[in-house]
């Protein structure tokens, strides 16, 4: 059903206007490969014709209010059914298996049952992620699936400051061991535990002071209060509890020795790829995509822990000190957006040729009743 003189056509949700640059990178590159990509809108879904409807993060609406989540997901399911009746294939990139906050488990479970039944093809970012998807949704084991890695973000953000400049800008000691947490602050990201760890761990064995830099906007007032309470009067914990602009992002990463992601639960982490694109090694739990990332890049770039302890953090900082503050990015060459786009285009082509199992729509009252 490819349109525009044989070009594949894709309706992307989200597409170019997403807050996360992942989709903008992917679809910009896909356009260079001759794929037509439009941003998702309900009117487009109901009136247009596309080979592929590509959905990312459908669960994210369950982090908001229940009425908003139900309206958004029911609208999406209706759009999916409309497009699939015209021959479109639904592709889901499985960034997560649940909404991070898990506020409405029954309603979310109903949505997942309906959504997963309609999926024609799955893209996972790693082999372990794909295995987790198939375990969570056994019926998807019979659908076409593809492992296509998360692209790096190198070059997406301004990046022209030296470590000394970045530390001076942020008021950090030049000779300290600086640990960074960067990103939206939500409960599952476990930021208070990281603060408490650094507060209990004043210096490394080599004498360097350990300083924590927390940069990101709290999800709500409760998250903000938890972070402030954990920080207390600790002068070695520097908080920047706000949205960090693209222009300012470089100062935080270039000031850091190590980026720590103390998440309690996750499947994939774009924050890890963001850090690595700024030549900053990451310290993260041994779960989700992290072990595969560590195998690919090595333990100096990706240090894993089973328990968040001072010894584990000190070892990660020691490994980080063995890396240059600036690299040529060769360690990330296999994660180039152009390579990811080629693989995604090939996945689309295979799906367009595949037979599709049709799933009837379910009215909203049945979704709510399950």
Q: Is 27 exposed, middle or buried (0-12, 13-18, 19+ CB in 10 A)?
A: buried
- pLDDT tens-place string over residues 25-72: 999 999 999 999 999 999 999 999 999 999 999 999 998 899 999 999
According to the model, what pLDDT value does residue 101 have? Answer: 81
Q: For the ranges 74-78, 90-94, 309-313, 353-357, which has the lowest average pLDDT? A: 353-357
The residue ranking higher by pLDDT, 365 or 255, is 255
Predicted local confidence at residue 359, as pLDDT: 54
Given pLDDT bands bounded at 50, 70 and 90, which one contains residue 2? low
Taking residues 252-256, report their average pLDDT.
Answer: 97
Q: Please give the pLDDT value at position 356.
A: 57
Q: Give 132-195 as a DSSP string.
A: HHHHHSGGGGGS-EEE-PPPP-TTTS-----HHHHHHHHT--TTSEEEEEES-B-GGG-HHHHH
Higher pLDDT, 20 or 244: 244
Q: List where CATH 3.40.50.2000 sits in the chain.
A: 9-151+336-369, 163-332
Q: Give the HSE-up count for residue 213: Cα atoms under 13 Å, Cβ half-sphere.
A: 26
| Predicted local confidence at residue 360, as pLDDT | 53
CA nearest neighbour of 205 among 282, 317, 322, 284:
317
The predicted model gives 304-331 an average pLDDT of 91
Q: Which of 1-15, 110-124, 182-196, 341-355 has the lowest mean pLDDT?
A: 1-15
Residue 19, number of CB atoms within 10 A of its CB: 10
User: pLDDT tens-digit profile of 163-175?
Assistant: 999 999 999 999 9
186 strand-pairing partners: none
Q: Give the pLDDT of residue 288.
A: 87
> Tens digit of pLDDT for each residue in 114-165?
999 999 999 999 999 999 999 999 999 999 999 999 999 999 999 999 999 9
For residue 331, the model assigns a pLDDT of 85
Query: Which CATH number describes the domain made up of 9-151+336-369?
Result: 3.40.50.2000
Q: Measure the CA–CA gap between 297 and 302, rounded to whole angstroms.
A: 7
Note the pLDDT of residue 364. Answer: 47
Given a contact cutoff of 8 angstroms between Cβ atoms, the answer to whether 161 and 194 are in contact is no
CATH class of 163-332: alpha beta
Question: Measured between alpha carbons, how far is 348 from 66 in angstroms, rounded to an integer?
Answer: 33
Mean pLDDT (the chain, rounded)? 92
Q: Could you give the C-alpha distances from 154 to 91, 205, 331, in angstroms and in order?
A: 26, 33, 11
Report, as an integer, the average pLDDT of 327-355.
91
Residue range 252-264: mean pLDDT, rounded? 96
Confidence at residue 365, expressed as pLDDT on a 0 to 100 scale: 45
Cα 50 from Cα 19, distance rounded (Å): 24
Report helix, strand or coil for 239: strand
């Amino acid at each position: 059903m490819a349109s525009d003189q044989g070009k594949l056509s894709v309706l992307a949700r989200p597409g170019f206007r997403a807050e996360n640059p992942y989709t903008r990178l992917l679809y910009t590159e896909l356009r260079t490969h001759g794929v037509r990509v439009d941003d998702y809108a309900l009117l487009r879904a109901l009136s247009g014709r596309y080979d592929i409807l590509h959905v990312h993060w459908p669960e994210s609406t369950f982090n908001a209010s229940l009425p908003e989540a139900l309206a958004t997901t029911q609208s999406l399911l209706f759009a999916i059914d409309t497009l699939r009746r015209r021959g479109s294939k639904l592709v889901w990139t499985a960034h997560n298996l649940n909404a991070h906050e898990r506020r409405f488990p029954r309603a979310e479970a109903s949505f997942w049952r309906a959504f997963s039944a309609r999926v024609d093809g799955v893209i996972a970012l790693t082999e372990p992620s794909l295995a987790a998807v198939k375990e969570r949704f056994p019926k998807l084991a019979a659908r076409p699936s593809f492992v296509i890695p998360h692209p790096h973000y190198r070059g997406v953000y301004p990046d022209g400051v030296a470590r000394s400049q970045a530390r001076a800008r942020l008021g950090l000691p030049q000779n300290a061991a600086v640990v960074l947490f960067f990103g939206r602050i939500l409960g599952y990201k476990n930021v208070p535990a990281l603060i408490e760890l650094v507060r209990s761990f004043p210096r490394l064995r080599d004498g360097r002071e350990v300083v924590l830099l927390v940069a990101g906007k709290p999800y709500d007032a409760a998250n903000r209060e938890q972070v402030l309470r954990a920080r207390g009067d600790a002068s070695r914990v520097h908080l920047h509890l706000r949205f960090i602009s693209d222009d300012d992002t470089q100062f935080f990463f270039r000031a850091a020795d190590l980026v720590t992601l103390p998440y309690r639960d996750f499947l994939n982490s774009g924050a890890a790829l963001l850090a690595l694109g700024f030549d900053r090694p990451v310290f993260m739990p041994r779960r989700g995509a992290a072990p595969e990332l560590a195998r690919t890049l090595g333990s100096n770039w990706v240090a894993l822990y089973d328990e968040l302890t001072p010894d584990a953090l000190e070892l990660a900082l020691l490994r980080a000190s063995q890396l240059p503050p600036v690299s040529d990015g060769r360690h990330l060459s296999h994660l180039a957006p152009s390579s990811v786009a080629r693989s995604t285009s090939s996945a689309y082509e295979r799906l367009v040729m595949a037979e599709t199992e049709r799933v009837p729509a379910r009215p909203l009252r049945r979704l709510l009743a399950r």
